[in-house]
Amino acid sequence: MKSFVLGLVAAVGLAGAVAADPLEGIWQTEVDDGAYALVTVSPCGPAFCGVISRTFNADGEYQSENIGRQIVIDMVPEGDGHYEGSVWRPSNDKIYIGKMDIEGNTVRLRGCVAGGLICASQTWTKVQ
């Protein structure tokens, strides 16, 4: 019986490790200042971080100086598909209070100032 219980605990632990958070993956941003990016979101400690992995403009894919830069910073899950942390906006090189709400294959990302009272938003689409 003891080995059965230990086996069951191990199996449940492995099943939990395999289940990925819906925020993990590759997301396509909206066009901002004539370009858009693919952002790879993955765990970073107890939160999630997103790094620009590819960039595109009207001519197609290009090698932006922002590739490899972190755009989603320490997004902590708050429950019900809501995350809070920080976001970096490449076009003005500023970091904002960040909020993300995921629904299916889209996530609404907001960068806010004034304690979250004034926000600009984008809707990203999951591509992988």
With bands split at pLDDT 50, 70 and 90, how would you rate the model's confidence at 1? very low
pLDDT at 115: 75
Vertex 8: Cα angle to 3 and 13 (nearest 5): 125
Residues 6+ away with beta carbon under 8 Å from 21: 43, 48, 77
Integer Cα distance of 126 and 128 in angstroms: 6
Q: Which range is least confidently modeled, 4-13, 28-37, 62-71, 107-116?
A: 4-13
Short-list 108, 101, 49, 106, CA closest to 80: 101
Question: pLDDT digits over 63-101, tens only?
Answer: 999 999 999 999 999 999 999 999 998 888 999 999 999
To which residue do tokens 């080995």 refer?
3
- pTM for the model stands at 0.81
Question: pLDDT digits over 5-22, tens only?
Answer: 334 434 444 444 456 889
**DSSP letter string over 61-111?**
EE--TTTT-EEEEEEEEEETTEEEEEEEETTTTEEEEEEEEEETTEEEEEE
State yes or no: pLDDT of 33 exceeds 70.
yes
> Is the distance from CB of 86 to CB of 96 less than 8 angstroms?
yes
State yes or no: pLDDT of 116 exceeds 90.
no
State yes or no: pLDDT of 27 exceeds 90.
yes
To which residue do tokens 């925020």 refer?
23
